[in-house]
Each structure stands twice: as C-alpha cells, then as structure tokens.
Amino acid sequence: MIYISDTSTNPYFNLAEEEFLLKNFTEDVFRLWINAPSIIVGRYQNSIAEINTEYTTQHHIPVVRRLTGGGAVFHDLGNLNFTFIQNMNTVADTATMFRRFTLPILQALHSIAVDAQLQGRNDLTINGLKFSGNAICIHQNRVLMHGTLMFDVSKTNLSKALKSRPEKFIGKAVKSNVKRVTNIKEHLTLEGILQNDIAAAALRERQCLQEQPNAELHAKHTTETQNIHCPEQQTEHGAEPQNGLYSEDCIMHTPIHGSEHTPVLCAKPQAEYADIQWFKDFLGRYICLHSSDITPYNFSAQQQEAIAELAHKRYKTDSWNFGKSPEYNFSNIKKFSAALIEIFFNVKDGFIKSLSIQGDYFFTRPTEEFIAAIEGTPHTREAINKKVGTLDVSAYFAGVDSEDIVNLFF
C-alpha cells in the first residue's frame, strides 16, 4: 500500500487526483487530503438544486463534481478527507465495502475515546450526529471509497452553502439527505488523546511547533513527519489484522525534532493544540502503523502535471460540474413591490430550454424577446448574470432590477 498525505487544498486538483489514482495506479492506496471551502456534489446530482448559489457566489465557494455517488457535502479547512483504493478481489456489496473501509477510521477514533459508529449504510456518527459521509466508485477491477471527517467544520457556512429549495426542482437527480451534524473536536478530551501513544506524540509535536516556532524545524516536520518504516518482526501490542488492512508486523519510527529517536520536551500537553493538522498527523500515523507493507508516496513532476491537466480539462469546467446534472424542471415565483413574476423552464445538458414567464407586471418590450435571449444559456449564476447584464431588464419588467431577475432562476 502507498500512503499519500497531500498538502494541496485546491478542490479541483484534489478531485482530479482521485480519478488519476483510481485509473492509473495498481497499488493499494491510502490518502489524506483537505480542501479549501467548496461544495462537492455527487456524480448524479443536480448541482444547482443542492446549493445556495447566491451564498456560494458571494463567498467564492466553488462547486465541484466528484466521481462517486451520494449527496452534496461542504468542505473547508476543518474537514479531513480520506481515501482507500484497492483491487476488487471478491464480489461484495457496497454495504460490505463501507464497513471494511471505515473500520480503521472508527478504530482510530475509538483509540482516543471518541465513540464513533457506522450508522445506516455509509454514515459515521457520534451520539447519533453525523460527522462523516462516505461514497464509492468502481472502475474496472478497482474500487475507490472516500469519506469526509468533520473535525472542526464551520456549521454556519455548511448550512448556508447547502441551503436549497427542493420544491423548485423536479427531476431524476439524486437529492442529498440532510442530517444533523457534529464535529469530532467537540468530543475530544485530553485524557482520551493521551491514552493513545501515537495521538499523544503527535499532540506534543504540534504543541512544540507552536510554542517553540522555528522555521527550519517546521520545514523538517513538514517534509519528514510521514517518514515511516515498517520492518518485519516488530509489533505493537494489541494490533490485529482487519480485512487485509491491518497487520501485526508494522511499527513506525517518526523523526522527532532534533533526533530520530529523541523527542523535544515541551510543556504539559494541552488539548487546544489538537487541531486539524494534529488530527491528520495522528490518523495518518495510526493507519500506517496498523497497515501491512505501507510506503509513503510523492508524485513526480510529470504526474502532478497530468493531474493539473485533468483538473483543468474536467474538474474546473461548468460542463462537468453543472452540465452533467440530469435533466430537470425548475419553477419559481416571486412578489416584488412592482411586480409578480413566475418562471418555468427545463434544463437539459446544463442549458435552459422551454422557458416560460408569466405574472402581473408592466413592460415596454415583449417578454418573448427576453425569453429568446435567455434560452440556451447555461443554468449557472455566472452565465445568467452575464446574459441578463446585456439586456434592458426594466423594459421587460418595470420596477424590477437585474439582480432580482437573476435570483429568480435559482
């Protein structure tokens, strides 16, 4: 197995990397990665129906479609994503796959006294509150399962960014299942962290970095933290193999600042230093310690260029992120101070078709002219805003401004 601990937070690049790994690697893969604020929608979802386009536009939050199914999720720098990719050696249903791949995550959390559970088919919960959604994609004989781990996500931004009005949309797209959520950090205790040597060591390192800042040591930590060796005949007490993911013949030696075997002495560990980077370090080390024959992996410059090209050609495009949405119908009605306007239209391949506008409003130019200008426009806020900006909206809808008309389409 190879272990990839990514530093990029670019959602376009990170989603392209998932596809690149799935389709070009034959090794088992374990990956940890973090996205900047973004909305990641499922393979067959109607992107527009899942998001608050006004909020995402104002806050420059990109919407990116992934390869796997399932619902829309909000990512930010407080969310850690994990990925497993393996060969499908045996036929298994998705429920079995979810159980297998989430087990190491659950056991890592249990080791720091976080009572996480697999609930339903693919959700991880704490006290019934969801903190992780997981999804699967199969390509030939390879299976990719990835999931979110809400460690310290902004719940306010999550709720606002994913706010939707499903009554406006009628179509065949997969709709997200809204559930109450929680952050892992809310359930951490210092006592729980210190009961696991790996978590405690990672916390001390994180604390040292912040209490004793040193650029050279920080660079060393960043590049060498995942320098993991798994010699045979060395075991950690209590490690048990689980479905081929865990092994007893693996022990990790992580360089600590100053010497490979000598830790830097810091103040008494404090839970406040248990941030998202600590969690990423801990989880990476825990999974590596319990995995068989694992090797850290860095992409070559050529591979990075290939991923960047895939991101540019697919994951950054409206045709992928919005145009791949299944066909759907949209309707909306709004009462303004000077008008009542109701719109209906169909969206196919991402483009507005069969637009109809009715209502109680005054005009000096025919509505049919406005409709002809709008039909064929991509159903994205950017495209409609650009198109409406070329029209004299007040001539078609007296007393209504351009922004109000654009908002009617979402």
Sequence-distant (6+) residues with CB within 8 A of 115 are 126, 127, 187
Give the pLDDT confidence of 232-271 residue by residue, as tens digits.
323 333 333 333 333 333 333 344 333 344 444 556 778 8
pLDDT at 185: 97
> Minimal CA–CA distance to 230: which of 146, 289, 305?
289
pLDDT at 211: 77
pLDDT at 319: 85
Cβ 307 vs Cβ 16: under 8 Å: yes
pLDDT at 294: 92
Mean pLDDT, residues 185-193: 96
Name residue, tokens 């902004």: 154
pLDDT at 43: 85
Quote the tokens at residue 312: 């540019």
Give the pLDDT confidence of 355-401 residue by residue, as tens digits.
999 887 878 888 999 999 999 999 998 899 999 999 999 999 988 99
Confidence of residue 213 (pLDDT cuts 50, 70, 90): low
- Spatial distance between the Cα atoms of 164 and 41, rounded to a whole number of angstroms: 13
Collapsing DSSP states into helix, strand and coil, what is residue 115? coil
Give the pLDDT confidence of 45-54 residue by residue, as tens digits.
878 778 888 8
216 has pLDDT over 50: no
pLDDT at 228: 43
> Minimal CA–CA distance to 81: which of 297, 276, 292?
276
Mean pLDDT, residues 197-218: 78
Could you give all domains of the chain from N- to C-terminal order, each with its CATH number? 2-320 (3.30.930.10), 328-408 (3.30.390.50)
Between 13-27, 189-203, 260-274, the lowest mean confidence (pLDDT) is in: 260-274
Confidence of residue 23 (pLDDT cuts 50, 70, 90): very high
Confidence of residue 112 (pLDDT cuts 50, 70, 90): very high
Q: What is the mean pLDDT of the chain?
A: 84
> Minimal CA–CA distance to 320: which of 7, 12, 8?
12
Collapsing DSSP states into helix, strand and coil, what is residue 262? coil
Quote the tokens at residue 266: 């810091």
Between 11-15, 172-176, 220-224, 332-336, the lowest mean confidence (pLDDT) is in: 220-224
Confidence of residue 173 (pLDDT cuts 50, 70, 90): low
- Give me the percent of the chain exceeding a pLDDT of 70: 81
Mean pLDDT, residues 315-339: 85
77 has pLDDT over 80: yes
Where is pLDDT greater, at 42 or 233?
42
Cβ 58 vs Cβ 133: under 8 Å: no
Where is pLDDT greater, at 349 or 281?
281
226 has pLDDT over 50: no
